Amino acid sequence: MNSNLILTIVNILINLIDVLFVLLPILLSVAFMTIIERKQLAAHQRRVGPQVVGYYGILQPFSDALKLILKETVIPNQSNKILFYLAPVSTLIFSLLGWSIIPFGDGLTLFDFSLGIFFTLALSSLGVYGILFAGWSANSKYAFLGSLRSTAAMISYELILSSAILIIILLTGTFNFTNIIESQQSVWFIVPLLPIFIFYFIAILAETSRTPFDLQEAESELVAGFFTEHSSVPFVFFFLAEYSSIVLFSCITAILFLGGYNAPELIVNNSIINLQSIILGLKTCIFCFMFVWFRATLPRLRYDQLIELCWVNILPIAVAFIILVPSLLVAFDIAPY
């Protein structure tokens, strides 16, 4: 009995160490994503950007985090305090849980889930609740309007996101991320599915509330959106959740359209060093750059334009591709099922 208890404790400790090995680099990458965005925006706008804290401003994220943590936590009167604190915590947790099924290399994943895509879509849907709770619990009309805008936009563009992913499922015949990566050894899906990639990327811009779809955070109209009343550590949680979602969706995009951790066949690695995680990281950086590039380039849409773009323009195209792609697979007898 004692030996079984010791083995159980050892297994739990090993699993915790595995989680920390994944979680700590992710949190660091999220922190440095903020300084990368500020530097890239400065380059687009012909400014210098942060350069005081640390060499070339590289320690600015830690300075910002310390400043926010030391601020006073202000709770509005007549607010629902439980939901007020639960909203940022749940948003961050759902954002970080998505990393548990990401394959960083061949066999390098915390949980190689056979229904990984369903798991990712479910977490993306649950993230809406944190935003809705944040706006409603604060007892503020600005936060509530921001949360309603955000919820409407996320639910609308989840249809586009799900449609694009459904086409990849029909093409590969699997819900597992590792199997999708292995299906792209001959050609990356971004080549034959370029139109689908375009409306998929528009959908993840809206899902992560990034420009030009950041209507719920329109400073000129809603102060700061659904987290107007949140300060100090709760605000940090929302901030981390937003940038964690950016890096996560960039990684998922690299897996779905750029072959994940697989390198092009022109690159042959004969060394003992496993480059798969580095290759996935470089592909992820491409889409992180695109997130910031779009923010620096495109103006914010009006709310009616945001909803019209989804329901009137993109959704019919997505439905047409859902019918077209399996029809072509059956017509040329190359369906994987």
Close Cβ partners of 164 (under 8 Å, ≥ 6 residues apart): 196, 197, 199, 200, 203, 318
Determine the pLDDT at residue 318.
92
Looking at 70, 86, 119, the residue that finishes a domain is 70
Same domain for 62 and 79, yes or no, is no
Structural domain total, the chain: 2
Boundary of a domain, candidates 70, 102, 129: 70
DSSP assignment letter at 333: T
Among the candidates 14, 38, 70, a domain finishes at 70
Say how many C-beta atoms besides its own lie within 10 A of residue 148's C-beta.
16
Domain-located, residue 228:
yes
Report angle CA 312, 249, 286 to the nearest 5 degrees: 105
Residue 183 lies in a domain: yes
Tell whether 234 is covered by a domain. yes
Task: Looking at the structure, tell me whether residues 66 and 80 fall in a common domain.
Answer: no
Residues 98, 64 share a domain: no
DSSP for 39-101 reads HHHHHHTT-----SSSGGGTTHHHHHHHHHHTS-----TT--HHHHHHHHHHHHHHHHHGGGG
pLDDT in tens, the chain (337 residues): 567 778 888 888 887 887 788 888 888 888 889 898 999 999 988 888 888 888 888 888 888 888 888 888 888 888 888 888 899 999 889 988 889 899 988 878 888 888 889 899 888 888 888 888 888 888 888 888 878 888 888 888 888 999 999 999 999 988 999 999 988 888 899 999 999 999 999 999 988 888 788 776 655 555 667 777 888 888 888 888 889 999 999 999 999 999 888 887 656 666 667 788 888 999 999 999 999 999 889 888 887 888 888 899 999 999 999 999 889 888 888 777 6
> Looking at residue 126, what is its pLDDT?
87
142, 214: one domain: yes
CA atoms of 154 and 161, how far apart (whole Å) = 10
Q: Please tell me the predicted confidence (pLDDT) of residue 202.
A: 92
- Both 138 and 1 in one domain: the answer is no
Same domain, yes or no, for 103 and 61? no
Shared-domain flag, residues 233 and 272: yes
Range of the domain at 55: 1-70
* d(C-alpha 315, C-alpha 309), whole Å: 8
Task: Verify cis geometry, omega within 30 degrees of 0, for the bond prior to 234.
Answer: no
Q: How far apart are the first and last CA of the chain?
A: 48
| Residue 7, in any domain of the structure | yes
337: in domain? no
153 and 221 co-located in one domain: yes
What is the C-alpha to C-alpha distance for residues 119 and 104, in angstroms, rounded to an integer?
A: 17
Both 115 and 254 in one domain: the answer is: yes
